[in-house]
Amino acid sequence: MIDKKEKAYILENKHYNEPSIFLPENLLREARRQKNISECNVPSICVLDPDGDLAGYLVGKGDATRNNCWACYHSNLYNFHLNDLQLGIVPYIVGASYAVLVAEQLFASGCEVLVSVTSAGIIQYFDNNKRFALITEAVRDEGTSYHYLPAKEPSEISGFLLDKLSEITQAESCPWFNAKSWTTDAPYRETREAIRAMKDENVCCVEMEAAALYAFARVKKKNILCFAHLTNTMAQAEGDFEKGEHFGSIDTINLINELLKWIR
């Protein structure tokens, strides 16, 4: 008999082929009823902005306005325009479970492509001067992905999206490079030995959302791209966490503009 103290319950009782009783569509239905929100769609391309810097920059300039179709109980969505295309942005979506909760509701509200751009701690440096990594695979050191995808399966970007971006990724002018990340639920438990283990797996950076978002995307067949903005070394030295002009907003806008050439 297995000692219950030795069991990782998060791996038990998952039934991956069984549909959920609690659906995002039903929650949104009730939220619209309670908050008197009309049933209408969010923009087809949306951005998750965990740090909130880009959304704050756009709202502060008057370039983003509150979306009146978004019925989420826990977040706000803003509309903004790039190259005559309307996009949505949701700030302060930090962590795997929150990111997937919002992602589920965005796709149930008309989103077709979701882009996450999160600041990330640098695990090891690569031979380039680029500040963004397109996360192609994420180590699943969080809990949410295990509710969508069995433990033996990798959490990675869809092959279709990776192929679609391959030509631009290879260009010298591309603002990102492909890399592997480590998704953790516990940023203040990034120990020296854990970091060393990630280096051995050729991990570039550590963040808090990608593994769960990619697991959800794979199971639900959704289009999600996760980028890491390489901004810090876990605050091991004073002056860390410098993201650039307007807290990295200008660089992030340039990244999204480049991305739009290939996904619109």
Find the mean pLDDT for residues 50-55.
96
pLDDT digits (tens, 9 = 90+) for 24-47: 999 999 999 999 999 999 999 999
Half-sphere exposure of 84 (CA within 13 A, CB side): 1
Find the mean pLDDT for residues 231-245.
59
Ramachandran category for residue 118: left, alpha or beta (phi over 0 → left; psi -120 to 50 → alpha): beta
Q: How many other C-beta atoms can be found within 10 angstroms of the C-beta atom of residue 75?
A: 16
Asked if 77 and 42 touch (Cβ cutoff 8 Å), the reply is yes
pLDDT category at 1 given cuts 50, 70, 90 is very low
Model pLDDT, residue 242: 62
Q: Is a pLDDT exceeding 60 seen at residue 108?
A: yes
Q: Is a pLDDT exceeding 70 seen at residue 263?
A: yes
CA–CA gap between residue 108 and residue 105 (Å, rounded): 5
Bridge partners of residue 116, in order along the sequence: 48, 226
Find the mean pLDDT for residues 185-200.
95
**Which of 262, 252, 90, 81 has the alpha carbon at shortest distance from 165?**
262
Sign of CA dihedral 264, 45, 216, 192: positive
pLDDT digits (tens, 9 = 90+) for 112-138: 999 999 999 999 988 788 999 999 999
Bridge partners of residue 179, in order along the sequence: 135
pLDDT digits (tens, 9 = 90+) for 180-189: 999 999 999 9
Find the mean pLDDT for residues 160-180.
92
pLDDT category at 60 given cuts 50, 70, 90 is very high
Model pLDDT, residue 246: 61
Q: What pTM did the predictor assign?
A: 0.93
Q: Is a pLDDT exceeding 70 seen at residue 82?
A: yes
Model pLDDT, residue 233: 60
pLDDT digits (tens, 9 = 90+) for 4-20: 567 788 999 999 999 99
Q: b/e for 165-174, b at 16 or more Cβ within 10 A?
A: beeebeeeeb
What separation in angstroms does the CA of 13 have from each of 8, 10, 101, 134? 11, 8, 20, 33
* Greater pLDDT, 247 or 253: 253
Q: How many other C-beta atoms can be found within 10 angstroms of the C-beta atom of residue 180?
A: 19
CA 163 to mean position of chain CA atoms:
19
pLDDT digits (tens, 9 = 90+) for 203-218: 999 999 999 999 999 9
